[in-house]
Amino acid sequence: MKKLERMLLMNWHNFSLQVIPFEMITFLTGKNSSGKSTIIDAMQLVLLGDTSGTFFNKAANQKSTRTLQSYLFGEQGDDGEAGFMYKRSDHFMTYVALEFHDTELNSYFTASFAAECYKDRSFSHMWFIVPEKLPSSLFHVNDVPMNREQLKDYIRQASGEWYQSNREYRAALLAREGAMKEKYLSLLRKAVPFTPMNDITRFITEYICDVESEIDVMAMQSDIRKYTELEHDAEIMKSRITRLEEIGKSDESYQGAKEILRLQQYIAARAAADDTEHAIEENRALLEKLSEENSRNSENLRLLEAEIEELNDEIEKLRRELYSSDEKK
């Protein structure tokens, strides 16, 4: 469900800066001209994405003389001679923003109307949607309302989108609201105006059945059958979704066990590799030790061989001396 949480009005008729919270059921009460219709018209502006103003002040059951310009500049009435008086006459920015909470996804988005208004009472407007709550700054920079360039920078940083045409904005908003159809907008227009209910048949045909001709009972019965079939299909789809969710959970468990096994295999292989590396290091150290001992033994052997050779030479010398002594005798 997309639940309306808060509404921001900045420079909208008599509202300079106001944040209005909403609950599931919200009552707007007050004396005449206290601003109830002004709030509802601002809400319709953003929900309908329509700047024509044909729906303004319908909630008050009055013939509307209000326009978007009168709301932006704060038209106060006609004094007869000087014409209409306005609350705002300088260059300023107007913001009307609705903050929504997606209760299923627990996410937020804000749909907004912004208008840059000039001293000659002309204005240029834009729409934008950002995937977050109303900013804590309430679209202010250093206590001054954001201008168009600052606003576009904010929208880019918030990963939002802005729209110059009403049609583009309406399509984006309907998609955000859950792929709603355009018919929803016409029904919303009819739901807001308050008129005494004097003709039940007219009320049903205009506000419930949304047809201008006589009620076609056969078509209604056919629609009811189709709705029943769709309800049955929805139950089947819900069952399939539940089964798919169970399969998804089983797959998650399988993938988790598979990942644990892979990790354990890696740890075992790493441990075996560490043991092998340790054994190689030990054998390498032993080989170096044996190589050093071999070098020492080779040197000792060389020295012994040299010593033996010297002894053999000494023996041979003594043998010759002995032989020479025997001949003299």
Question: Tell me, what's the pLDDT at 188?
Answer: 75
Could you report the per-residue pLDDT of 231-286, keeping only the tens digit for each?
999 999 999 999 999 999 999 999 999 999 999 999 999 999 888 888 898 888 88
Quick one: average pLDDT of 109-114? 95
Question: Tell me, what's the pLDDT at 258?
Answer: 92
Q: Band the pLDDT of 79: cuts 50, 70, 90.
A: low
Residues 6 or more apart in contact with residue 205 via CB below 8 angstroms: 211, 212, 213, 214, 215
Percent of the chain topping pLDDT 70? 88
Residue 215 has pLDDT above 80, yes or no: no
Question: Tell me, what's the pLDDT at 178?
Answer: 78
* Backbone phi, psi, residue 89, to 5°: -130, -5
Percent of the chain topping pLDDT 90? 42
Could you report the per-residue pLDDT of 5-24, keeping only the tens digit for each?
999 999 999 899 999 999 98
Residue 120 has pLDDT above 80, yes or no: yes
- Helix, strand, coil shares, percent, the chain, to 5: 55, 20, 30
Whole-angstrom distance, CA of residue 155 vs CA of residue 129 = 8
Give the CATH number, domain containing residue 25: 3.40.1140.10
What range defines the domain where residue 181 resides?
A: 2-208
Residue 240, domain member (yes or no): no
Residue 11, domain member (yes or no): yes
Residue 230, domain member (yes or no): no
Would you say how long the chain is, in residues? 329
| 135: DSSP letter | P
**Type of residue found at 113:** F
Question: Tell me, what's the pLDDT at 212?
Answer: 53
User: How many Cβ atoms are within 10 Å of 22's Cβ, its own excluded?
Assistant: 14
Residue whose C-alpha is closest to residue 132's, from 101, 95, 169, 89: 101
Domain count, the chain: 1
CB 134 within 8 A of CB 8: yes
Is pLDDT larger for residue 182 or for residue 9? 9
Residue whose C-alpha is closest to residue 160's, from 186, 128, 184: 128
Quote the pTM value: 0.58
